[in-house]
Amino acid sequence: MRPPILRRLFRRVASTAVLGLLAATLTTTPATAAGGLQQVTGFGSNPGNLQMYEYTPAGLPANAPLVVALHGCAQTADAYYTNSGWPKFADQWGFDVVFPQTTSANNALSCFGWFDASEDSRGKGEAASIAQMVEHAKQSRGSDGQRVYVTGLSAGGGMAADLLAAYPDVFAGGAVASGLPAQCATSQAAASGCQTGPQKLTPAQWGDKVRGAYPGYGGPWPRVAIWQGTADYTVYPANATALRDQWTDVWGIGQTPSSTDTLPGNTARAVYNDSAGRPAVETYTVSGMGHGLPVGPGTGAEQCGTAAAYFLNTICSTYYTGVFWGLDGGGTPGGGDRLPAPAGVTVTGVTDTTAALSWSAVEGAASYAVFRNGTKVASPAGTAYTDTGLTAGTTYRYTVAAVDGSGTAGTTSAQVTAVTTGGATARCFTATNYAHVAAGRARTTGGYVYANGSEANMGLYNVFVTHTLKESPAGYFVIADSGCTG
């Protein structure tokens, strides 16, 4: 017999996408900044009314990968941070993690709206808010725009699949745990049917749902890992089959695995290679596991996470997902070697509207990819490029990657900064570190404060340390304690 509060809740949300993630209490409160988890505000217009939390390892350099991790229903960003294992590998392998959070203000059970076209479509609602979080991380942390990944559990998994379909130009890979195929449901009424048994569509029909989410996009497509328990009676295993059919069709590689093997925790892995022989889709089927994210508590290299409600002690899915994406430094997602990063990337000159770059040649490169603020802007064949149409007095971040004959980009170079000439007169600000952060002139991580733009270390985050910051151009701050003139 359900307690009265649960009876009332079930009557009120019987038609919503519950996904079975009911905690002991269904009143979800905003996550608090626990340990290294910090809330980020002002990341964009936020049309989906989400909250942004972020974990950044101490000393993380610019140009690091970025992972977006989406919680399940009735969970919080803090719960996912605490139990999923992502912080362990962020520290070990060096990447930033963004934990979006929705609340009961959006959905009675704090589920991401994977079934709502106004929330999970490109440029709309929660999906747009998450894309803004990615862009904020690229701008504020210098995250590598070519190595952005999204993962999620249950409703978060359904939203992750929708994001991969709606923003394949943003996400290089994804992982869906106990989740739904992209665009399985486009209304609240259809959500329950997807959970217990998605439509019996052909792989091409499933693939069309992805292709229709961003019409005209021609690739490359994200690499997708799919995690599913055989005893999941909340999101049935048929969803994992539909996900496999969907993404193998998008990749054009068929539904027969290239290889299979057995992993810990009674887990069977099937690998589906692309035309170049690299894994594009992988399925992980955990025998006997119910509804939740597989974790493997312990201190071993392949262990992670904490067993809790809907974090199930079987296998560390986070480890295998990270290796599949290449976050461990093992080359391209799924294996294989990438060309090394170009050395000697240098800004050779700037004007009001241009920035000129050069770099050393990489053996085996057929061309190069130039990225401005994490977005690809050019594919020169040689080792120099001049970016045009820029704004005067503005800071731009550039990285370069070598591209081999198959079109695969190699490791991205170290980031360089170009500041175009002209623009507004410099401004000076003298304040405590706390006040600089509050005013948006600096950020804090690991207890220290860093000036926005220059990333200069300003010391401890408190009201006792005071610095003068010089802003020139807009949004770019340097320490000017010895004297600051406008």
User: CA–CA separation, 419 vs 182, rounded Å?
Assistant: 41
Selection from 20, 269, 52, 286 nearest residue 158 by Cα: 20
pLDDT tens string 5-61:
222 233 333 344 444 433 322 333 333 334 489 999 999 999 999 999 999 999 888
User: CA–CA separation, 182 vs 100, rounded Å?
Assistant: 19
- Write down the pLDDT at residue 395: 81
Q: Compute φ and ψ for 158, nearest 5 degrees.
A: -60, -40
- Write down the pLDDT at residue 407: 78
Query: DSSP state, 461?
Result: S
Sign of the dihedral defined by the CA atoms of residues 388, 391, 393, 399, in that order: negative
Q: Compute φ and ψ for 90, nearest 5 degrees.
A: -60, -45
User: CA–CA separation, 129 vs 262, rounded Å?
Assistant: 38
User: CA–CA separation, 445 vs 438, rounded Å?
Assistant: 14
Selection from 391, 405, 401 nearest residue 476 by Cα: 391
The answer to whether residues 305 and 311 touch, using CB atoms and an 8 Å cutoff, is: yes
pLDDT tens string 389-428:
998 888 888 888 898 887 777 777 777 888 888 766 678 8
HSE-up (13 A, CA, CB side) for residue 265: 25
- Write down the pLDDT at residue 477: 84
- Write down the pLDDT at residue 319: 95
The answer to whether residues 279 and 273 touch, using CB atoms and an 8 Å cutoff, is: yes
| DSSP three-state, residue 5 | helix
Sign of the dihedral defined by the CA atoms of residues 163, 167, 169, 170, in that order: negative
- Write down the pLDDT at residue 29: 36
Distances from the Cα of 188 to the Cα of 17, 192, 236, 424, angstroms: 7, 8, 18, 50
DSSP annotation string for 136-189:
HHHHHH---TTSEEEEEETHHHHHHHHHHHH-TTT-SEEEEES---TTS-SSHH
Whether residue 100 is preceded by a cis peptide bond, meaning omega within 30 degrees of 0, is: no
Q: In the chain, which residues have pLDDT < 50?
A: 1-35, 331-336
- Write down the pLDDT at residue 446: 65
- Write down the pLDDT at residue 16: 41
The answer to whether residues 187 and 118 touch, using CB atoms and an 8 Å cutoff, is: no
The answer to whether residues 342 and 119 touch, using CB atoms and an 8 Å cutoff, is: no
- Write down the pLDDT at residue 352: 87
Token couple for 398: 């550039």
- Write down the pLDDT at residue 424: 61
Distances from the Cα of 446 to the Cα of 34, 125, 431, 465, angstroms: 12, 31, 20, 16
- Write down the pLDDT at residue 371: 82
Question: Which residues are known to be catalytic?
Answer: 154
Distances from the Cα of 469 to the Cα of 221, 429, 434, 465, 486, angstroms: 43, 5, 13, 13, 11
- Write down the pLDDT at residue 460: 86
| Geometric angle at alpha carbon 15, from 13 and 238, rounded to 5° | 120
Token couple for 88: 């362990």
- Write down the pLDDT at residue 375: 72
